[in-house]
């Protein structure tokens, strides 16, 4: 049975009350084996009296939707009828993040959504235990939705509220290959023919601490084939995906130098960033890191260490627009470039583009159109007007509409949430049976 959390009269008392029969499927209870669909988190009464309208807007409800291929969407409603959308997700942990959003709703329902900085501070500092991927992803999606509401209320795109834009569009790249790289040269050429000027690919499958040079040769052959197929001016990003340990990372990076890569991503895991200075000392290739860092405090030491050239915070993991903007400015102070991580859905991409618009050090934007994860649904499926993400000459326009600048197709979101997903990343093993980093 679907339930609605509502406030009854009395100091801070929360009670459960039955929902009206919904037109959408909801994630009803813990007994639901799949735990997918729409989850109505919390609702407060609204009123439309003139006296009420003279007072600040209030958050009235928060609903999460688990939608294919592996995303979680959040809708925040207000008593003024303005709706904001966010994308709070850690891939493979959608239900866990939804539970965190539910908990955070206790401090948000009834509050003025315009007070974004204060609400962010309460969500982060209001709990004794802070940070980490789950909490920060929940905060991220909420923060995106709050900015969406504020922009819509004022009739302005979010980037205008952040001080205006320094660019009209930004370079973007397309993913090629899969978890285990295949015929990447043909895919890169096809991507170039579609107008993109850069691609990103996984470098390798699993590697031991010290591994065979045959695997190294396979990586080099793949990258060499892409370079020969696409030409010298085409951007190639190679993602080590945290699969490679320091000894083999140094070997691979050195061997890849002749191919003049756009960047190498996550040459080692973020928790081993102390090794990055040693890795970076061996190459002129730009080194990128950051998708598994979740706040300005996580990024502070990495940026100050001088061990990275490019940071890659994810607006759906690293505290939303509010926090990612601060991380970007901190990086700029150290002459570090920004390339926001975003293999996610349209709300996350729109949020990234709003940050890119006003971030001087942003130089390229990831997006998930056609990525190998998007098997049942793709990036543009959940927006009413796909042309808002206008790809042209390897660039993507900054959305200029109010809020995040996109209109979510709520009817389709509800329809697909009936299926939901239980996406999990694969578990890999080495030939000796030991666990291998994916």
Cα 364 to Cα 337: distance, rounded to the nearest angstrom = 9
Cα 213 to Cα 252: distance, rounded to the nearest angstrom = 10
> Cα–Cα distances in Å, from 144 out to 214, 296, 348?
45, 17, 8
DSSP codes joined into one string, 25-64: -B---TT-SS--SEEEEEE------HHHHTSPP-EEEEEE
Cα of first residue to Cα of last residue in the chain, in angstroms, is 38
List residues with catalytic annotation: 241, 341
Secondary structure of residue 149 in the 3-state scheme: helix
Tell how far CA 324 is from the center of its chain: 11
Secondary structure of residue 175 in the 3-state scheme: strand
Q: Report which DSSP code applies to 178.
A: -
To 5 degrees, how large is the angle CA 341–CA 346–CA 350?
A: 70
Q: 428 - beta bridge partners? A: 436
Residues 406 and 347 sit within 8 Å (Cβ to Cβ): yes
């Amino acid at each position: 049975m679907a339930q609605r959390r509502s406030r009854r009269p009395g100091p801070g008392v929360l009670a459960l009350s039955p929902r009206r029969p919904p037109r959408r499927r909801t994630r009803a209870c813990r007994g639901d084996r799949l735990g997918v669909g729409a989850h109505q988190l919390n609702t407060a009464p609204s009123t439309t009296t003139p006296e009420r309208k003279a007072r600040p807007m209030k958050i009235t409800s928060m609903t999460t939707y688990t939608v294919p291929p592996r995303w979680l969407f959040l809708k925040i409603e207000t008593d003024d009828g303005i709706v904001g959308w966010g994308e709070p997700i850690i891939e493979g942990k959608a239900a866990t993040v939804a539970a965190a959003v539910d908990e955070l709703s206790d401090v948000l329902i009834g509050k003025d959504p315009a007070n974004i900085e204060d609400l962010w501070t309460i969500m982060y500092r209001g709990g004794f235990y802070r940070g980490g991927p789950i909490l920060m992803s929940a905060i991220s999606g909420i923060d995106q939705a709050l900015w969406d509401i504020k922009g819509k209320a004022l009739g302005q795109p979010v980037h205008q509220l952040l001080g205006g834009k320094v660019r009209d569009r930004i370079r973007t790249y397309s993913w090629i290959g899969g978890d285990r790289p295949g015929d990447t040269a043909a895919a890169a050429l096809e991507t170039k023919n579609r107008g993109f000027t850069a691609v990103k690919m996984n470098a390798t499958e699993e590697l031991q601490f010290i591994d065979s040079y045959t695997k190294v040769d396979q990586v080099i052959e793949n990258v060499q084939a892409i370079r020969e197929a696409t030409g010298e001016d085409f951007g190639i990003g190679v993602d080590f995906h945290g699969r490679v340990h320091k000894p083999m990372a140094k070997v691979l990076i050195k061997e890849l130098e002749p191919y003049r890569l756009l960047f190498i991503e996550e040459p080692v895991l973020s928790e081993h960033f102390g090794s990055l200075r040693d890795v970076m000392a061996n190459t002129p290739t730009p080194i990128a890191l950051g998708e598994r860092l979740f706040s300005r405090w996580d990024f502070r030491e990495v940026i100050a260490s001088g061990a990275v050239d490019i940071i890659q915070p994810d607006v759906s993991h690293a505290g939303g627009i509010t926090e990612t903007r601060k991380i970007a400015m901190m990086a700029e102070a150290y002459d570090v470039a920004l390339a926001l991580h975003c293999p996610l859905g349209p709300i996350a991409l729109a949020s990234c583009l709003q940050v890119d618009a006003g971030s001087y050090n942003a130089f390229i934007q990831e997006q998930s159109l056609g990525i190998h994860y998007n098997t049942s649904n793709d990036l543009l499926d959940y927006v009413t007007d796909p042309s808002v993400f206008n790809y042209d000459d390897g660039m993507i326009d900054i959305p200029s509409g109010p809020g995040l600048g996109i209109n979510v197709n709520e009817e389709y979101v509800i329809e697909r949430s009936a299926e939901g997903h239980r996406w999990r990343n694969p578990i890999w093993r080495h030939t000796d049976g030991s666990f291998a980093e994916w």
